[in-house]
């Protein structure tokens, strides 16, 4: 198996761009997805297969991957985007990053 590393916290001002990274040695061979979890709620997919956005997810959410690092970008961040974000990659096991708390100040 492998590990995914995320920054514990990211802060952003309303209207600005937030970037959350996810790195792992074997990520270059895999796709990453991203989940948003608000307090008391179940996780929701916001990006899958590195850069695909599910229907119903706002266009301000985007994803990219370069080598061993995947990045979730939120453009024009809104207060409602304040949440925990987790990256995940699939191997024979499914591995989650440790999560990043996004604070919109």
Binding site for other proteins (CB under 8 A): 1, 31, 33, 35, 37, 42-45, 48-49, 52, 54, 84, 86, 88, 90, 92-99
Per-residue DSSP letter, 98 = -
HSE-up of 55 (CA within 13 Å, CB side)? 0
Q: How far is the CB of 74 from other proteins (least distance, A)?
A: 18
Q: How far is the CB of 11 from other proteins (least distance, A)?
A: 19
C-beta of 51 vs 73, nearer to other proteins: 51
Cβ–Cβ under 8 Å, residues 97 and 4: yes
Cβ–Cβ under 8 Å, residues 4 and 23: yes
Q: How far is the CB of 88 from other proteins (least distance, A)?
A: 7
C-beta of 48 vs 60, nearer to other proteins: 48
CA nearest to 71, candidates 3, 34, 7, 21: 21
């Amino acid at each position: 198996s492998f590990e995914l590393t995320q920054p514990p916290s990211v802060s952003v001002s309303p209207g600005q761009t937030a970037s959350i990274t996810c790195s792992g040695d074997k990520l270059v061979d895999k796709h990453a997805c991203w989940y948003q979890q608000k307090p008391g709620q179940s996780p929701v997919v916001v990006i899958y297969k590195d850069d695909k956005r599910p229907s119903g997810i706002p266009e301000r959410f985007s994803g990219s991957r370069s080598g061993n690092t995947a990045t979730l970008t939120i453009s024009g961040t809104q207060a409602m985007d304040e949440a925990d974000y987790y990256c995940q990659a699939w191997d024979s096991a499914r591995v989650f990053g440790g999560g990043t708390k996004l604070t919109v100040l």
